[in-house]
Amino acid sequence: MVIHLLPSTRLGPPRAGFVVSGKIGNSVVRHRITRRLRPLVWQRLPLLPDGTDLVVRALAPASTASSPELEADLDAGVGVAARRAGIRLGAPAAETPGVPS
């Protein structure tokens, strides 16, 4: 997968978007990839500074990758993208009761 981090002056929490090309497979395959990536990305958003946009572009191998492989690729990609964008990743905020982590 390819990860892009875009710092901005936008106020508010970090947000994420997904790009899964039609070349990867039919809509069932593309939506399955997005459903598998969404919770992994959700867990990492608190590490990003406010106003940051995270874009995850899935490549064809994501359709057959295991969850640990997706997680490792996502972590590596976020780390590289953060260094390139000059973004310092923080520690996750403490869990607040009633708020999903």
Residue 96 located in a structural domain? no
H or E element at residue 16: strand 15-20
How many C-beta atoms lie closer than 10 Å to residue 35's C-beta? 10
| pLDDT at residue 96, rounded to an integer | 43
**Domain interval for residue 12:** 2-85
Q: Evaluate whether residue 76 is within a structural domain.
A: yes
27 occurs within a structural domain: yes
For 27-57, the pLDDT digits (tens) are 999 999 999 999 999 999 999 999 999 999 9
- pTM confidence score: 0.81
Flag whether pLDDT at 74 surpasses 50.
Answer: yes
Note the pLDDT tens digit of each residue in 91-100.
665 544 444 5
Helix axes 27-44, 67-85, angle to 10 degrees: 60
The answer as to whether 91 is a domain residue is: no
- How many domains are there within the chain? 1
Q: Which of 51, 55, 68 is nearest to 8 (CA)?
A: 51
